Amino acid sequence: MNPGINSKLSIIGVPLDLGASKRGASLGPDAIRYAGIKKRLEKIGYDVQDEGNISFHAVETGKDSSNHKNLASVVEANEKLAAKVDEVMKAGRFPLVIGGDHSLAIGTIKGVLKNVPRLGVIWFDAHGDINTGETSPSGNIHGMPVASLLGRGLDRLSAIGGSEFKLSKENIAYVGCRDLDSGERRALKELGIPVFTMHEIDLNGIQWVMDKAMAIASQGTDGVHVSFDVDVLDPAFAPGTGTIVPGGMEYREAHLSLELVTKNVNLVSVEFVEVNPILDDKNKTAEAAVALAGSLLGEWLI
């Protein structure tokens, strides 16, 4: 166990897939549980409490006039998640959120921001997730959480958990990107947010990339959140996710990157998202998420 992390840990499941184009990520939390996350973390030495799944009205309504799909359900799920994360942290516990599509990062991070106002984020993802309704080709809200957390885009999304709680663009770093929409490229350049693509990983190595990302997320902050989308991994290691992009991080690269995070920053919260067991091969992707959670939370050989 990493002695720098709160030993009291709460697992929060978010069975949300209405922010994505493919259904099935709603089954992700239970797939991760089935893969043994609680037992694994207890073996490391944590006092683990499974808080169950967030309950909300999952109603598929399609795309609205502002180019947001299933907006009401996504907002409700995230409002409840933000409140739950806030509750867990105020009770002195470390939140580990499992999902579920990546739109849930709005609720997770808003809940954390109520307790850690100066928060840094390392965003592991094949995609940028910084679209708004104006730039999104699909209207899928799992492609919009970073924009919402920066106070951009639809007010109804950025107001989740309180519009006064926002991330600072100076303390966000992306790792593993390899598929950005044109609107996302413009936004990232405009905001000056560092994006360490697979090109940088291949060229400079994961140690170099993580040193840069950790420095950005830690500079002037009181804690760091890790948002880990399993599609950052190469599909050979994580086939059970809805937006596969070839050429992702190797299994060992991902483990090393998370080991480096927990040894070098003040980790205050984490989420593993986009596990879709309907698309998986014998729960392989959920098992990878559990193993990676172990590396992040201190399951070291010596």
The yes-or-no answer on residue 299 being catalytic is: no
Separation CA 285–CA 182 (nearest Å): 29
What are the beta bridge partners of residue 161? none
Interacting residues of 203 by C-beta distance below 8 A, sequence separation 6+:
none
Separation CA 104–CA 146 (nearest Å): 11
Give me the sign of the Cα torsion angle 240, 241, 245, 249: negative
Q: Which of 181, 231, 280, 287 is catalytic?
A: 231
Angle made by CA atoms 193, 20, 49, in degrees to the nearest 5: 85
The yes-or-no answer on residue 199 being catalytic is: no
Taking a C-beta distance cutoff of 8 angstroms, is the pair 263, 5 a contact?
no
Taking a C-beta distance cutoff of 8 angstroms, is the pair 55, 68 a contact?
no
Q: Which of 68, 102, 225, 255 is catalytic?
A: 102
The yes-or-no answer on residue 231 being catalytic is: yes
The yes-or-no answer on residue 274 being catalytic is: yes
Q: Which of 76, 86, 181, 229 is catalytic?
A: 229
Q: Which of 125, 184, 259, 299 is catalytic?
A: 125
Separation CA 11–CA 269 (nearest Å): 11
- For β-strands 94-99 and 47-53, DSSP reports them as unpaired
The yes-or-no answer on residue 50 being catalytic is: no
The yes-or-no answer on residue 127 being catalytic is: yes
CA 181 to chain centre: 19
Q: Which of 274, 280, 287, 299 is catalytic?
A: 274
Interacting residues of 302 by C-beta distance below 8 A, sequence separation 6+:
none
Q: Which of 68, 76, 79, 127 is catalytic?
A: 127
Separation CA 224–CA 172 (nearest Å): 10
Separation CA 255–CA 270 (nearest Å): 15
Q: Which of 79, 86, 142, 181 is catalytic?
A: 142
The yes-or-no answer on residue 129 being catalytic is: yes
Taking a C-beta distance cutoff of 8 angstroms, is the pair 122, 268 a contact?
no
Taking a C-beta distance cutoff of 8 angstroms, is the pair 68, 139 a contact?
yes
List the catalytic residues: 102, 125, 127, 129, 142, 229, 231, 274
